[in-house]
Amino acid sequence: MIAYVTVGADDIARAKRFYSAVLPALGYGLEEGPAGLSYALPLEPGQVPRLPDFYVKPTFDGRPASGGNGAMVAFEARNQQQVRDLHAAACRAGGSDEGQPGFRASYGPSFYVGYLRDPQGNKIALFSNDPTEPGRDG
């Protein structure tokens, strides 16, 4: 089970603008501190944490942060419309389009996905895989 994902950022304020345009709509809350940004799903008293958490931090070694080649973080949206809405919001918040929302021939018929780069260059996917919505073949 993945417990958390961390991406590096040289400009925490830019990263906050980008991720705050997406993650709160997916249910994540934000805690901000001197070590960066911590996004987590809400936890009721006595409830086991819902994972994974997502952290945006300066690098530990002090060198510039860089997006991993081949690395990507994917967030599941509620439906196809939310994928479109969040993709657009993330682009307005400083991200760049890496693939407009839609179906891809290499994935299942209901897998709807949009790709982005955050301001640091990390690749982010927003997807919905709801078989009750119209699919690629229908």
Signed CA dihedral, 28, 29, 30, 35: sign only = negative
Q: Which CATH superfamily includes the segment(s) 4-128? A: 2,3-Dihydroxybiphenyl 1,2-Dioxygenase, domain 1 (3.10.180.10)
Question: What's the chain's average pLDDT?
Answer: 94
Q: What is the pLDDT of residue 79?
A: 97
Question: What is the residue extent of each domain of the chain?
Answer: 4-128
Q: Are 79 and 106 in contact (CB under 8 A)?
A: no
Question: What number is the average pLDDT over the span 50-74?
Answer: 90
Q: Are 114 and 81 in contact (CB under 8 A)?
A: no
In terms of pLDDT, which residue wins out, 60 or 92? 92
In terms of pLDDT, which residue wins out, 9 or 1? 9
Question: What number is the average pLDDT over the span 13-19?
Answer: 98
Distance CA 127, CA 114 (A): 6
Distance CA 39, CA 62 (A): 22
Q: What is the pLDDT of residue 138?
A: 66
Full-model pTM: 0.90
CA dihedral 19, 17, 56, 46 (to 10 degrees): -60
Q: What is the pLDDT of residue 129?
A: 95
**Hey, what are 59's tokens?**
């690098």
Which amino acid type is present at position 23? L
